[in-house]
Structure 1
């Protein structure tokens, strides 16, 4: 099976490397960055700079770019993948986007005789490289069946939420409410502890063994302890994703005050110049307010 992966970022690279391990797959990765292409090629994959360079007759395309705009351009734009695909190929679109955008892209796929799976993912770069992402998917039975072998190779669990595109994206937006708020409150707790005179490492060690722990606290706060701002997921991602939460909430007349407050903290960190840094560094917003020094700054 000829498979394309569009977007060799932290999640896409892991997914593409997982697919290379499947003997029946011939995997091509798409990314404009030379370094990402070189890494994938070194692992044995075919690497190309544009979606329009995918092999003719590609049967499955997994899309792991940042947003709906990038996904649309990669699939249907002037340098998009659509003309290179086999008749009846399936698009697995895993970008985080508004449900209405997922429905719109699915309609564009249908008009070209392509199948579409709305399939956002979670699990981070580590989960992606382990082939252990969680997939929140919706699509027709035919689309899900054709996408099944690829989804199985990159995930530990595929949740099928229904036939209609948009349901997967709705679930991911709700999930991102939790993810964004958890990162923001993890940063708040760490900043409060530092401001109050606690040793940051001791605070971390206590929390991860106690009831107040969360996956995000345990996963993200080591980045703060180590002073590692390398963006596995960036501050600006949560500016976007929590914006999607607010849009969804407004569309169903639902109050979401915690999501709104968390988004303001990410916006504040972005405005201070930290938008491209690891999302744990939303803690910079608290640093600006309180004057604390982070562990590696002492």
Structure 2
């Protein structure tokens, strides 16, 4: 693959995705609001761009890996945005977790400019992004897939094609985030109860991870708690946002989500208590009367 492809947003996921594309033979152009991140990527091969517009002028495919819909709007239509610089027939791949209705509207907005759109939220974490083994939940028109199929396969081990209209990928991602958020909150509650009852935390972790009560989130996130390391791989405020989106989608159709509502309140409490930018496992810090493991 020698396609000129642009990646906007070099955070934990975007940087890994850019490296996966480079490893598979693409000429990768990158832009990030932190110029040093783009320069660091370019130092190992690739092209650092000073703006999204500069990147768009050189690439027929742009992969956007920013935090939310507002940042995506800025990337496309803000000062130095890429939409005005993209050629007709180019493809914009949107990887953020957003309201599905916003994604549907964005597809129409870009179509009016002659730009194809892939609704493509991602999951799997930084390690899988770096190794090209993450999951993409995608939806888009056949013409868009024809242009970017090999690029998607270079970034992800699983590329699910969920429909020909934007929104389907974002709906599935919203449901995934419902489960992820509830599972983290439940894992924190279980570990907190164990600590309150004087159970050895390492022994509890060992037993649960080999028993029916285990979940991927318990196994992954409670390891952070055991090590006392709350360096954010996915921050508390990510789930304030994502569970908020879950509840917004359900509220529109008057659909009850009691577990999601409780988990959202737990992350809101953790955020307000000063843990907004810590790892999402820091939701355990809202429980009173427990002594958490210290950083080893």
Task: Tell me what 2:99 maps to.
Answer: 98
Whether 1:137 and 2:135 are equivalent positions in the alignment is no
For the residue of structure 2 that corresponds to 1:138, the secondary structure is strand
Task: Tell me what 1:188 maps to.
Answer: 189
The answer to which of 47-56 and 267-276 deviates more is 47-56
Q: Tell me if the contact between 2:227 and 2:295 (Cα under 8 Å) persists in the aligned partners.
A: no
Task: Tell me what 1:33 maps to.
Answer: 34
For the residue of structure 2 that corresponds to 1:295, the secondary structure is coil
Mapped partners of 1:108, 1:235: distance in 2: 32
After TM superposition, the structure 1 = structure 2 runs for residues 1-298 of structure 1, keeping only pairs within 5 Å, are: 1-23=3-25, 25-54=26-55, 56-286=57-287, 290-296=288-294
Shift of 1:64: 0.8
Change in 2 beyond 3 A, CA 1:196/1:137: same
For the residue of structure 2 that corresponds to 1:136, the secondary structure is strand
Gaps of at least 5 residues in structure 1 are none
Per-residue CA deviations over 1:217-258 (Å, capped at 9, x if unaligned) read 111111111121111111000000000110111122211000
Mapped partners of 1:71, 1:56: distance in 2: 18
Shift of 1:140: 0.6
Gaps of at least 5 residues in structure 2 are none
Mapped partners of 1:174, 1:119: distance in 2: 14
Change in 2 beyond 3 A, CA 1:294/1:39: farther
Change in 2 beyond 3 A, CA 1:36/1:85: same
Mapped partners of 1:121, 1:174: distance in 2: 13
Shift of 1:297: 6.6
The answer to which of 73-82 and 181-190 deviates more is 73-82
Shift of 1:85: 2.4
Aligned-CA RMSD value: 1.4
Per-residue CA deviations over 1:39-74 (Å, capped at 9, x if unaligned) read 312332222343123162311111111111111110
TM-score by length of 2: 0.96
Q: Tell me if the contact between 2:135 and 2:158 (Cα under 8 Å) persists in the aligned partners.
A: yes
Mapped partners of 2:205, 2:258: distance in 1: 27
